[in-house]
Chain A
Amino acid sequence: MTVGMEWLAIAPPVVGLFTGILCLFFWDKLCTQRILQLLGAMAHFGFSFALVIAVDAHGPLVARMGGWAAPFGIVYVADLFSALLLLVTSILWFAIALYNFKGGIDKARERFAYHPLAAFLIFGVSGAFVTGDIFHLYVCFEILLMASFVLMVLGNEKEQLSGALKYLVINLISSLFFLTAVGLLYAQVGTLNFADLSVKLSSFDVLPPSLTMVAHLLLVAFGVKAGLFPLFYWLPASYHNPPIPVIALFAGLLTKVGLYSLIRVFTFIFPHSGTSTFHWIWWLSVLTMIVGVIGAVSKMSIRRILSVHIISQVGYVTLGLALKSPVAIAAAIYYMVHNMFAKTNLFLISGVVESESGTDYLKKTGGLFKSHLWLSVLFLVSALGLAGIPPLSGFFAKLFLVKAAIAQDELWSVAAALGVSVFTLFSMIKIWNYAFWKNPPADGVSDAEAKKAIQPSFAISIFTPQMISVTLLAGFVLGMGVFAGPLWELSLKAANGLTDTKAYVDAVLPYQGEIYR
């Protein structure tokens, strides 16, 4: 089946790796590095797009490293879920590279390896999406964590450093939980390959306690990375400190890798880990949604509102996982894709707001609607998209999730999802009212800047790289609403590939029953 296409599965992470290495070669030539980023993102997009089409047509693609048969060698497997996320990753990478093309990030940071690090981060993220082996997932996590650690402290500002320490320590603890879980899993099952694990564990009706413990260790490990309820404290402490392109990259990709791993592990390996585990996930999701959004409402700076808000959105995705049915998981996948676009775009827009009004503290901003009409429209599209207003992506994401919950008579889930979205709307409107709608403050420190802001100038034209980048992403937020039907079909297919593992297992272990076992 589709001989000669297997290498596509490994192409996206390799693009990330080589872009990073090439950027290192052009250490002093910042312009070359920026162009390399754009080219790398385009290549990543091309491969991911081809991957989505190939996987949609032929089923999972398996790249066997060194030609070793599956449970013995490392495999990279792209199923539809991975391929979709890779595609979104490439679009976000492109948008952020475009945003940085002209002054999106300060020269000092750029000169000290911002571009190579961003590419290595993409390498780790893409690797985590396509790997077919749980230990290799750990390795990819470490690659992306290492890149994110350095991006987090790049610049050595005081707040960055203290935020980075919390980020580092909590993420390392979660990595060690992950590593311990891998060791315990290997001790009991004797394999680390996803497909093989799924086959070997499917013989259990109910998991034995020792394996349930492994499942819970993994829940904690990925819960920390994703930002689930009691484990998210590192996120508001650290995310608002680095420059905007870095946070946009983190917000779009890092917590989503944790979510990807949660969905992969709990649908694929431990689907039968007892109702108690899924009850846990349900409670954690609902609490995450509520606590995250309340935290966001209480903040007074755009960056902080948006970064605390990430947590609340994570809860929606895991709520889909907790409901467990294919439809609910499809809704979770759709939600994840929507959230990656909307969140990244909101951060990039807040970067433009910051550079235009000199601050992101809401009380000092204002009047942007008068002076920057197009930017306001784009913000409104993304913010209302996030909150879930009808023609936009978030509406359909929430609609699918709520429909899945109603189908299972999970009325409390419905209540939580809808209640939280009201507060989401409230927090987005708060930014809108303060930064765009109200008049800029007449007195205070930023007097000169305030005056500049009221001038109805279109000086910031629509055709700067930054504006094109945010326009592009807002287009995707709108597009996911307009083309919700076909995209929903794709997510449904991806979710079926997760709950019914047969196609995946057959692709990874073709000799199952003959040579092997």
Chain B
Amino acid sequence: MEAWIVIVVAVLMALGFYLLMQRSISRIVLGLLVLSNAANMVIFTSPGLLRAKAPLIAGESLAGFPHADPLPQALILTAIVIGMGVLAFALGLVFKIKKILDIEDVDEMRQE
């Protein structure tokens, strides 16, 4: 199962970097979006994927049955929220750049 996720991450990373290297500003932002999802998937897979119960203790101890690691889920939740905030800002910036500088191609940006 992990192997599949790893392939998905690899594809997403490749896609993200491909988009980042485009000249259009909106594609660059899309590339960031894809890359942040790839990073999130890495965290998601980090404890190993298993068919297990949620790590909630109701009376008995956890020792008897396999349980999922809750920490990466907390991490990924934080990372998703942060990623969303930053992306919202990036979209706002792209909008402003289009409106004020009136460019779409990064090559048209003034050097320096």
Stretch of A176-184, A312-320, A409-417 that contacts chain B: A176-184
Q: Which residues of B contact A192 (CB under 8 A)?
A: 71
Whether B100 lies near A156 (C-beta < 8 A) is yes
Q: Which residues of A contact B45 (CB under 8 A)?
A: 183, 187
8 A Cβ contacts from B15-55 to A: 20, 25, 28, 32, 35-36, 38-40, 42-48
Would you give the shortest CB distance from B15 to chain A, in whole angstroms? 13
Whether A161 lies near B43 (C-beta < 8 A) is no
Whether B93 lies near A172 (C-beta < 8 A) is no
Would you give the shortest CB distance from B60 to chain A, in whole angstroms? 20
Whether B101 lies near A186 (C-beta < 8 A) is no
Q: Which residues of B contact A179 (CB under 8 A)?
A: 36, 39-40, 42-43, 79
A437 within 8 A of B: no
- Report the Cα distance A183→B90, complex, angstroms: 24
- Report the Cα distance A146→B81, complex, angstroms: 13
- Report the Cα distance A159→B101, complex, angstroms: 9
Whether B90 lies near A172 (C-beta < 8 A) is yes
A442 within 8 A of B: no
- Report the Cα distance A138→B110, complex, angstroms: 32
Whether A156 lies near B96 (C-beta < 8 A) is yes
Q: Which residues of A contact B47 (CB under 8 A)?
A: 186-187, 190
A165 within 8 A of B: yes
- Report the Cα distance A246→B101, complex, angstroms: 22
Q: Which residues of A contact B25 (CB under 8 A)?
A: 165
Would you give the shortest CB distance from B84 to chain A, in whole angstroms? 11
Given contacts A153-B93, A156-B96, contact A142 B86 (CB under 8 A): yes
Chain A contact surface mostly: helix
Choose one: B20, B40, B42, B93; the contact of A168 (CB below 8 Å).
B93
8 A Cβ contacts from B76-103 to A: 78-79, 82, 85-86, 89-90, 93-94, 96-97, 100-101
Given contacts A165-B97, A186-B71, contact A173 B20 (CB under 8 A): yes
- Report the Cα distance A192→B74, complex, angstroms: 13
Whether B101 lies near A146 (C-beta < 8 A) is no
B62 within 8 A of A: no
For B, the interface residue count at a CB cutoff of 8 angstroms equals 36
Chain A interface residue number, banded: 20 to 34
Whether B78 lies near A146 (C-beta < 8 A) is no
Q: Which residues of B contact A164 (CB under 8 A)?
A: 93
8 A Cβ contacts from A190-239 to B: 190, 192, 236-237
Whether B110 lies near A161 (C-beta < 8 A) is no
Q: Which residues of A contact B112 (CB under 8 A)?
A: 236-237
Would you give the shortest CB distance from B98 to chain A, in whole angstroms? 10
Whether A172 lies near B72 (C-beta < 8 A) is no
B11 within 8 A of A: no
Whether A182 lies near B43 (C-beta < 8 A) is yes
**A236-263 interface code vs B (CB 8 A; 1 in, 0 out):** 1100000000000000000000000000
The residue on A at minimum CB distance from B79 is A179
- Report the Cα distance A186→B70, complex, angstroms: 12
- Report the Cα distance A146→B90, complex, angstroms: 10
Would you give the shortest CB distance from A407 to chain B, in whole angstroms? 41
Q: Which residues of B contact A150 (CB under 8 A)?
A: 89
8 A Cβ contacts from A131-180 to B: 135, 138-139, 142, 145-146, 149-150, 153, 156, 158-159, 161-162, 164-165, 168-169, 172-173, 175-176, 179-180
Whether A180 lies near B39 (C-beta < 8 A) is yes
8 A Cβ contacts from A457-479 to B: none
Binding site for A on B (CB under 8 A): 20, 25, 28, 32, 35-36, 38-40, 42-48, 71-72, 75, 78-79, 82, 85-86, 89-90, 93-94, 96-97, 100-101, 106, 109-110, 112
Ordered nearest first, which 5 A-B pairs have the shortest CB separation? Answer: A183-B42, A187-B46, A183-B43, A179-B39, A183-B46
Q: Add 14 more A-B contacts to A172-B32, A183-B45 (CB < 8 A).
A: A150-B89, A153-B93, A153-B96, A158-B101, A162-B110, A164-B93, A169-B32, A176-B35, A176-B38, A179-B36, A183-B43, A186-B47, A186-B72, A237-B112
Of the A-B pairs whose beta carbons lie under 8 Å apart in the complex, a sample of 11, sorted by A's number, is A135-B78, A149-B89, A150-B89, A153-B96, A158-B110, A162-B110, A179-B36, A183-B42, A184-B42, A184-B46, A186-B72
